[in-house]
Structure 1
């Protein structure tokens, strides 16, 4: 049994299974998943714009912020949905979720490096650096907690996935 996918949220399971077995899914399934991620990305985009503006004083344009926030939404959304659904069901046990927590910690570090290099000052073109990138990444991780509860509520109403 895979400890990452043990009682996983359907979005996490579908995302990982699509990467592992792409031939088992049709183009419509793949398109639906991409559309879900593109819509989910909107709150992460707003959080990224806020975090970058408060951390280094750069105002990101909407298309640039949307593109930079997409990796956070793809990584944080399914992982945090799994943790949040466990918390809401009063079924969170660290013995079952230690791999998932480790994946979240590693993902935040990798996204910190991405933002440290990907977000650049307008005038000089220099990257903001790893320290500011980690601040932005950790802010997005913290913002993922209420976003995941919001997405769970929306999914309960609209039954998207």
Structure 2
């Protein structure tokens, strides 16, 4: 009987030590899992912010490029061939603006998407005014005040 009591107490101590170790390992695993989940969430948020910044930068670059091409397109004294080339370049640039506007609309908050749409409409309107003016429909101001026909439907 004397050997049973020390054996039982040793067995109980070993069981308690094992339980305590398992509890500590479980706590450590849960802590590491929580830290990893937090790191992954922060990484996903950082990637989403980077995607938004990139979408905004591409849109702004395309819009500024289009505006510059529209200015060059409206210069006086250019030949018909130069005008056609510039018009084609401006249209391609506006197509890029439209593409990047769609991405901004998906990536950005409503206010940013609205501002991007307004900028794109302004560029679209400017192109239509330039085309109408070039087609000898009056002075630039008169064309703009009278309203501009939708040049995309006119086959221009």
Q: TM-score range by the shorter chain?
A: 0.3 to 0.5
Bigger Rg, which one: 2
Which structure shows the higher helix fraction? 2
Normalised to the residue count of structure 2, the TM-score between the two structures is 0.33
Comparing both chains, which one has the higher relative contact order based on Cα–Cα distances under 8 Å and sequence gaps of 6 or more?
Answer: 1
Normalised to the residue count of structure 1, the TM-score between the two structures is 0.32
